[in-house]
Structure 1
């Protein structure tokens, strides 16, 4: 059984970090930034600070059994001629050491300076630069190198996936982080867990597959277990927002293999709990997954959960729009595909990865390509859907699904109408859909 009110109470009481502590985190970060800006040597290099990771994605969970929770933010500094990558981390640490408040709280890590609030949380301050050549980078102290990053692009990507999952991707990530900390049978960095789950969100019957939290949990674990089953050896784990950057250095084969086995095990447990028709048996099965903190809700909690339950509704179909479900294909999943969008050079306008640029001007050209682990041969279908009053007034909402007959695996589009549009791809083999992807296109 779904036990929706139970999940609502479990998230509220055992998993989600409460608002008081989130407010305290905001205050602590503001105080850290204030101290760094006031430092006579580092302060003049300060440009901005940007939440990242679980804090930015709203997937922070309560610390388990007295452990600390953590939050990261990027400290945007100006580039300094002659400084090596290590110098930026050294100077941030030196600024903390000059502070009467933070000198005993700071620890230098490989990519950040950590401020520890003993027994509660730690805040990782990550030096971040936009270099003269336009690259966004953080520091790898051990290698004395810059690593490319795209924090806002990753957050945007995660939000796209969460929107497709009707807001349930964030909840599932929190639940699996809780499972990781509670069971202590596997380890996985949060950024990798977010990536692996986000990539499993598919544009196939999404209103049903992600209609509520337990259904989304089951669907995403099913698809993740199927994908992991294809790879006994850790595959390349690319950053979805930063072409050419991977997360493999944050994990190793033994950790990956153990994670793979445990996800298969826990996916089976979740399916068993979900499919039990007897409420008592279902509760026992859910407690097998999450422990005895997964408790019946109070009468008030149950009433609030029922009142808050909203059935997902797909946006109104455009006049010529098609959905891939209309084609009579069968969902199989288990594979992955990723859309790469490039703004092509034209007339001096910004160009490059759309994930980096975030938005594009009208009258520009876009090229979409795909990366997939589906072996040839397969059929590829494209969908371009416009939104907004300009496209509607021009009768150009589009939404037709078209076969890539020439098998170019690419598509060119022009940016004609302002609004937040999207492109989707579907990979079909033997009339089974193996993978899909979705890419927002914001035309400013």
Structure 2
């Protein structure tokens, strides 16, 4: 199950950095910038820019008792009398001259860090357009006393474009969730710049508006499975190029050791399978437990449903109890005809006679849905399109069609197994509850006769032929027979 509202709450209340910390950070950064601009720093400051996760919109809430990091770059004019290390040494001198910053300031390799103990760290990184390096942007390395080619602003712009391509702020949400998993589980090592690049490269120009990116949980499954497939092709650390167009060559993959890469690869394979399993799980509480295995117990906290609540449909101004054996009363048909299939809860779609699927997920990014046409005289007769949940007469026929998107191979390399499930008193009386899997009647087609009053449903399972794995599964198509 998707649990979309739980994901939004999880992002807002657990993953995203809170507004109080952001306000405090903004106040601190503004004060630092104003102080430096008024100081006697030995190079002219052209501008400041927030950088890293703060600029990318991927900053996450720190774990309890821990600090969070924020990056600020400062573009400065070249000082012809300085060596590379002098930009950092003089910036430290200026900050040490202020009693507010003296005890917080320390020198790092490529930045000066202000450490607000137990709260936050702010890294100030000078950038210079160096004349003898074709006026290209460089940062400074203090210990090695040399310039390093860098284009942090271009990297930020690339990530902004990835976010636009995915739609719905998906890239930023996925980056935050995967950073949260990294920080919370502590099960893998991946620096944030490398992690965001890996996620960004998994987004294509055609993703916006597709089903794979239609919700936070579906996007999470898509990104994890794409990462899994990408990593599976590599035995050793892959080359992950800095996407900044002005950078000739920078391999972000060098931030990993071979052991760190292989562990990351194993964990992404495991987490992709967990996420897919949680998404496909149709029982509310079971799905919640599976998502928590990946995301921790703060996901959907307190949202479990009691057995009694799961077995009752709330239909204003009444409540209809679902029969434990799915032999539901005729009142269910009337309620669905009045209020629509939206009243059906997850328990309805998990009757005891339902045969569970046995195929292993293939981890494709494919998706599918079922549509239907109504035919009064059976196969060969003309049909009319009917909507999911439309009330239909007995003695007609439905022709179901499974439509797929983004299959990895040609459509002929797949077939559909159809799960047809009846519910209601009449079907139970006739011994026709079904819930089994049936072969297709044509490529991705299934014909069914309408016989028993009740609310029934049909699902399509798209199977890959060569390894008999599940490429995708449709949502239930509801059939209401009057």
Q: Normalising TM by the smaller chain, what interval? A: 0.5 to 0.7
Residue 213 of structure 1 aligns with which residue?
A: 216
Q: TM-score, normalised by structure 1?
A: 0.65
Query: Aligned residue for 2:145?
Result: 144
SS in 2 for 1:101: helix
Structure 2 counterpart of 1:255: 260
Measured against aligned partners, the alpha-carbon deviations of 1:106-155 in whole angstroms (never above 9, x if no partner) come to 12111111111111111111111122322011122233222222222111
Deviations 1:171-197 (A, max 9, x none): 010000000010011111111000000
Deviations 1:220-242 (A, max 9, x none): 11001110111121122211013
Return 5+ residue gaps in structure 2 as ranges. Answer: 304-404, 410-482
Pair 294,97 (structure 1): closer, same or farther in 2 beyond 3 Å: same
Contact 1:16–1:60, Cα closer than 8 Å, also in 2: yes
Note if contact 1:148-1:245 (Cα within 8 Å) is conserved in structure 2. Answer: no
1:285 aligns with 2:285: no
Tell me if the contact between 2:165 and 2:206 (Cα under 8 Å) persists in the aligned partners.
no
Partner of residue 199, structure 2: 197
Q: 1:266 aligns with which of 258, 271, 286?
A: 271
Aligned partner of residue 71 in structure 2, secondary structure: strand
**Larger mean Cα displacement after TM superposition, 237-246 or 56-65:** 237-246
Question: Could you say which residue in structure 1 is the equivalent of 2:235?
Answer: 232
Once the two structures are superposed, the pairs formed by residues 55-204 of structure 1 within 5 Å of their partners are 55-132=54-131, 133-166=134-167, 167-204=169-206
Residues 292-311 of structure 1: per-residue CA shift (max 9 Å, x gap): 1112588xxxxxxxxxxxxx
* Alpha-carbon distance in 2 for matches of 1:205, 1:98: 51
Q: How many residue pairs get matched?
A: 304
**CA–CA separation in structure 2 for the residues paired with 1:56 and 1:13:** 21
The range that moved more, 203-212 or 255-264, is: 203-212
Q: What is the match of residue 280 of structure 2?
A: 275
**5+ unaligned residues in a row in structure 1: which ranges?**
299-327, 333-444
User: Larger Cα Rg: Structure 1 or Structure 2?
Assistant: 2
* Equivalent position SS for 2:46: strand
> In 1, are the aligned partners of 2:49 and 2:73 still within 8 Å (CA)?
yes
Task: Measure how far apart 1:205 and its partner are.
Answer: 4.9
Change (3 A) 1:86 1:158: same
Q: Distance in 1 between matches of 2:70 and 2:228?
A: 28
Classify 1:329/1:274 alpha carbon distance in 2 versus 1 (closer, same or farther; 3 Å).
closer
The answer for the alignment partner of 1:36 in structure 2 is: 36
Alpha carbons of 1:143 and 1:253: their partners in 2 closer, same or farther (altered >3 Å)? farther
* CA distance in 2 between partners of 1:176 and 1:123 (Å): 22
Match of 2:12, SS state, is: helix
CA–CA distance in structure 1, aligned partners of residues 193 and 224 of structure 2 = 17
Counterpart in the other structure of 1:6:
6
3-state SS of the aligned residue for 1:47?
strand
